[in-house]
Structure 1
Amino acid sequence: MVGVVENNIQRELQLLLMKNLGSSMLPGILVALILFLTLKNPANESGLAFWLIAVSASKLFDVYDAKRIIQRGITLNQTAALKIRLMLLHAIDGAAWGSLAWLSLPASTSAGSVLILAVLAGIAANSMSILSPVLPVFAAFVVFELGSIVYAVISLNDPAYWAIGIAVALYVVTLMGQAYNSSRTVRNSIQLRFDNLELIQQLSAASEKAAKALTSAERANAEKSRFLAAASHDLRQPIHAQGLFLEVLQTTNLSPHQRELVNSISSATNATTEMLHTLLDYSRIEAGVVEPQPRAFRLQTLLSKIENELAPQANAKGLLYRSPETHAVVYSDPALIELIIRNLVSNAIRYTHRGGVLVVCRKQQFRLSLEIWDSGIGIAPSQFENIFSEFQQLGNSERDRQKGLGLGLAIVRKMVNLLGLELHLASRPGRGSVFKLSLPLTQVAVLSDDISTVPQKMQQLHARVLVVDDDAIVRQAMAQLLAEWGCHCDLAESKEESLILTRRHPPDLIISDYRLRDHCKGTDVIQAIRSACNTEIPAILVTGDTAPVRLREAAASGLPLMHKPVSPALLYAELSALLERNRQVTITQH
């Protein structure tokens, strides 16, 4: 490896030298011509003419040879032979220049001798800048050029010239030192360039490796999302139908034992539904379809609702659930705050086996600290970040479904970030935990709390409803439930069948699954039916999809969107509201 690097450096140095030769060719020939014209006389004219031709030919051949080698290219195993070639050629060039001293010094005047020595010294200095990248080549040139001068001076056997010879020898030493420094500088520069190239290659390789790893991770994440979305959709269909059938079953005459069984089935269904809705909440956040709708609201109404729903779970485990009343009015999105608190309280109950859960509010200047305390298993400080990751659960290595999916705290963190709030955690293993959510207080008067309630008594709706779903069991369950609510129900599994039924009996309301067979969408079906009837028939979209792209598409439709498994009570409330609104519009138009 070291040999390869050294050969690469030598090749670059040789290329640099040969590229420099062209710049000295014409000036060198002109200097030789001027010397010929200045120094010639009848006694030495023929010798100087031969010298001029030799110097010019040497210059021309050096440049021609260099261009030819550059065009052909230099392989790594050619560098040693090329160095010898360059040394030989420039030794000849140096001897050619130095021979001027033999030819001219004996018959020159003092002024002519000074001119000859000055020009040859200048030629040597100029050659240093050109040839020093390959130090042996410059050494060959200067030794033969200035060596010829020294030899010529000594040959004159004149003590007056001996001092000149000594000065030339010292000049050679000085030039060699400068050439050495110049050579090291150029070499270090090339070495640095190779080091940088090697570093760039290493960084490129590392970057490419990181990019491949990122692509692989993104692909795995996308595949995970697609799998979860597909699995969630397929699970929601039968559970959605099961919930509808149970609602119909509960309205029939049942023996006490049968009712107990139905209640047990409902409890199991609700547990599964809760996990599916947790997946849905997470998917909605990932899809970016959750948009905060902040307003002033009384926190106590929300806390009472959560207590009514979750306190029975705490009581069933023998835990004490306390939530002292607060009169605070806060400014945020009540639906998202409810989601945060519900997940935190559910987690507190799930991981507490003795003691209890306390939900308390403390005013802190212009903010309210909503705190959920528990006396549960606690969390080690090293796990504080991990618990907010997806599918992370402490103390559930056996993957007990009673302990959820490990998405609750991941949803909490995303909701807190979305609302721009702060959540703090303090905990000690075996001693319990406290989550503190900081909420902005407001002095805005709140006339009523808009928290949806489900009517206790379901009145007959007396409407014709078109149900579009490609799952036969879901259609059957929906038909039986709607019949209990006094509706005439038409069932279709495709857009074409929907239009046929519409022509026979125009519907008062449409309930359509979002994703149908053959890549058909419920929005397309609803639009086609409305166009056929030439009226804006009320419609509800129902979907079991949790894929982010599907959630964004469905949310963008502007239609009421319900997620499977649909709560019958919420479905009834939505149907009632849409039908009543449509009746009011019809009365106004007439």
Structure 2
Amino acid sequence: MPEAGADLSAQVTRLQQDNHKLMRINAALIERIESGMTQGNNPYTIFQHSVVLAEQVRERTDALNQAMAELKASNHLLINARLRAEALCRQQVAAQREAEQANLSKTKFLAAVSHDLLQPLNAARLFTSALLERPSETLVRNVNNSLEDVENLLGTLVDISKLDAGVIKADIAPFALSELLDNLAAEYTELARSEGLELHFIGCSALVHSDIQLLARILRNLLSNALRYTYKGRVVLGCRRQQQRVLIQVWDSGMGIAEDRLEEIFQEFKRGDVQRPDQDRGLGLGLAIVEKIAGILGHRISVKSWPGQGSMFSVEVPLSATAPKAVPAPCMSEPMLERLQGARVWVLDNDAAICAGMRTLLEGWGCRVITALSEQDLARQVDNYHAEVDLLIADYHLDDNQNGVDAVARINAHRGRAIPAMMITANYSNELKQQIRELGHTLMHKPVRPMKLKTAMSHLLSRP
């Protein structure tokens, strides 16, 4: 396109020069004729000369007309070429937009089906977890471990699809870092011990500005990776203050990472070459999820590694001047666990398998359980919601476009005193999180982990 424009400009300039030259020739001819007539030259000679000059003018005019025709034809070709190029460009843009839309639709689809993907596994885990509460054979534990692995894999796929689809948003707020790290240290100390490793935790009193749930997911992935790739020795979780930021670091004494692979480890489906033989290989999405969540939070991730000696992953989090007072985590002592004994619990879920699994698990903890598939079903069983109850557990997604939040409100409208409520959902939106928080309910995301469920129930039942 630029070359054609340049050629056209040069051709126009050349024709203008020829036209100017022709005008000068015509002027000279007229001047000579007038001069000859003035000087009294032979009229026949003058006529002959005029004919010659007229022929020259005609030839030059024909040449000029031909050049103009060629210029017009070139201009037409140029316009057609430009129109074709613009059409091709529009087609390319449309094709690219269609491809992007198809990819977005795929990721949005995976994000949207998280509820359906996790429901059957959630039900199975509730059954097997109930069996694990009692003396059981090794086979049952193996089934439970296998289901947990599948659940983790599906959960990872759902996480990456939600991140790609832009479903997960940050809920930034100030909080005490100890509120997060103390819980993670307790959780991973037991996991490390079960793998024959040691977790060394260095406490931190810093106040930070981040999303506590998303930051926890980053650190869980880093700690899980550290345990996965460490044969012997220990994993260290700690912090370093650096100006207006705090560096949360996870060190391990594993096999390390080659320098030329430090960038590619954050790509999707990239797994380490060597890991402990008793560990499942995973999907290679853990660090990809870490990087995507860090991008949402605006936190910088860095890594250093020494092949054969270990690695260090660091997350930079901004410090905060103030933070709300941390709510102390309930101590899972025997008196706390005894609160579940005889507790009257209503379960509202539109999935019969979930209801059956929840009943089996909670009854194994000593609760008295009533399950229902709908509000009407529950009303029939509990004297139109007037029966005595200690706790209501409701799924957020119910039939007929109903949701658990509204259902709890309608149920409490029949009672003089509101029932403590726990909402279970696969919806990770900040809007729902904020709504549940403002209503004073407890929010638990699927897949439901039995120990976390037990702790949350005990905490709710301990409220005055």
TM-score by length of 2: 0.72
Q: 1:238 to 1:335 in 2, by over 3 A?
A: same
C-alpha separation in 2, matches of 1:316 and 1:531: 48
Which of 215, 218, 243 aligns to 2:129? It is 243
Q: Structure 2: how far apart are the matches of 1:319 and 1:400?
A: 13
Distance in 2 (alpha carbons) for counterparts of 1:358 and 1:264? 29
Which of 329, 337, 346 is matched with 1:452 structurally? 329
Cα deviation, residue 401, structure 1: 6.8
Could you tell me which amino acid in structure 1 is paired with residue 246 of structure 2?
L
Structure 1: tracts of 5 or more residues without a match: 1-124, 129-155, 585-590
Q: 1:197 to 1:500 in 2, by over 3 A?
A: same
Structure (1 or 2) with the greater helix fraction: 1
Which residue matches 1:526? 408
Instruction: Indicate conservation of the 8 Å contact 1:502/1:529, yes or no.
Output: no
Q: CA deviation at 1:344?
A: 1.0
Kept in 2: contact 1:360–1:370 (CA 8 A): yes
**1:241/1:473 contact within 8 Å kept:** no
* CA shift for structure 1 position 422: 1.0
- 1:528-583 Cα deviation digits (max 9, x unpaired): 4344557644332223x46x7xx6786476353323443445434444554565xx
**Distance in 2 between residues matched to 1:528 and 1:236, nearest whole Å:** 27
Asked whether 1:307 is paired with 2:185, we answer yes
CA distance in 2 between counterparts of 1:320 and 1:579 reads 34
> CA 1:526 to 1:332, structure 2 compared with 1: closer, same or farther past 3 Å?
closer
| Contact 1:460 1:486 survives alignment (8 Å) | no
Match in the other structure for 1:90: none
- Match in the other structure for 1:419: 297
Distance 1:577 1:321 in 2: 27
* Distance of aligned partners of 1:244 and 1:433 in 2 relative to their CA distance in 1, 3 Å threshold: same
Q: Which has the higher contact order (CA 8 A, sep 6+)?
A: 2
CA distance in 1, matches of 2:60, 2:300: 74
SS at match of 2:380: helix
| Aligned pairs (5 A) from 1:156-555 | 158-225=44-111, 229-247=115-133, 249=134, 254=135, 258=136, 278=156, 288=167, 290-299=169-178, 302-315=180-193, 317=195, 319=197, 321-324=199-202, 326=204, 328-354=206-232, 356-380=234-258, 383-395=261-273, 402-427=280-305, 432-442=310-320, 444=322, 449-450=326-327, 452-457=329-334, 458-460=337-339, 464-483=344-363, 487-503=367-383, 506-507=386-387, 508=389, 509-516=391-398, 521-523=403-405, 525-533=407-415, 536-543=418-425, 545=426, 555=433
- Cα distance in 1 between the residues matched to 2:350 and 2:268: 32
Give the CA deviation at 1:193: 0.9
Separation (CA, whole Å) in 1 of partners of 2:339 and 2:252 = 45
- Give the drift of 1:241: 3.4
Alpha-carbon distance, 1:321 to partner:
4.3
Report if the CA contact (8 A) 2:169-2:430 is conserved: no
What's the RMSD between the two structures over aligned residues?
A: 4.2
Superimposed CA distance per residue, residues 494-551 of structure 1 (whole angstroms, 9 cap, x where no aligned partner): 33212222435524342223334566543454344344557644332223x46x7xx6
The aligned amino acid for 1:466 is W
CA distance in structure 2 between the aligned counterparts of 1:527 and 1:194, rounded to whole angstroms: 67
CA gap of 1:366–1:207, structure 2 versus 1, over 3 A, is: closer
CA distance in 2, matches of 1:179, 1:381: 72
Contact 1:237 1:565 in 2 (8 A): no
Which amino acid in 1 is paired with 2:285?
L
Q: Deviations over 1:38-59 (max 9, x none)?
A: xxxxxxxxxxxxxxxxxxxxxx
Q: Distance in 1 between matches of 2:71 and 2:278?
A: 71
Deviates more, 1:342-351 or 1:411-420: 411-420
| Cα distance in structure 2, aligned partners of 1:281 and 1:212 | 24
Judge which range, 234-243 or 179-188, deviates more: 179-188
Contact 1:289/1:555 (<8 A) preserved: no
What is the SS of the residue equivalent to 2:89? Answer: helix
Q: How much has 1:351 moved relative to structure 2?
A: 1.9
* Higher Cα radius of gyration: 1
AA aligned to 2:301 is L
| Distance in 2 (alpha carbons) for counterparts of 1:486 and 1:424 | 47
Equivalent pairs, count: 415
Decide whether aligned partners of structure 1 residues 389 and 531 sit closer, same or farther in structure 2, where only a CA change above 3 A counts: farther
